[in-house]
Copies of this chain bind each other. A is one copy, B any other.
Amino acid sequence: MARVIVDVMLKPEILDPQGQAIARALPRLGFSGVAAVRQGKRFEVELDGPADEAALSDVRKMAETLLANTVIEDYAVRVEP
């Protein structure tokens, strides 16, 4: 069993109203020193077998077809150590 992490974030040029709302709320809550916040998704994918190159290639295909909307989102796949 291996665990693969897929991080999905809006592309930098896409407006992120959720992140902006958080960034604007922080000073009201007493936090300073934050320039920006962006919010995305994190998926933990538990594989039956090892995280070899074939399995990672499958996870990248999953990210493209199901987990991320590649028109507006970027994704990154990595094996959790």
Asked if A79 CB lies within 8 Å of chain B CBs, one says: no
- Say whether A34 contacts B26, CB under 8 Å: no
How many of A's residues come within 8 Å of B, CB to CB? 34
Is the Cβ of A41 less than 8 Å from the Cβ of B38?
no
A28 to chain B, nearest CB (A): 10
**B9 and A33 contacting across the interface, CB-CB below 8 Å:** no
A39: chain B residues within 8 A (beta carbon): 41-44
CB closest chain-B residue, reference A44: B38
A33 touches B49 (CB 8 A): yes
**8 CB < 8 A contacts A-B:** A22-B66, A26-B62, A29-B65, A33-B49, A34-B45, A37-B44, A39-B43, A42-B42
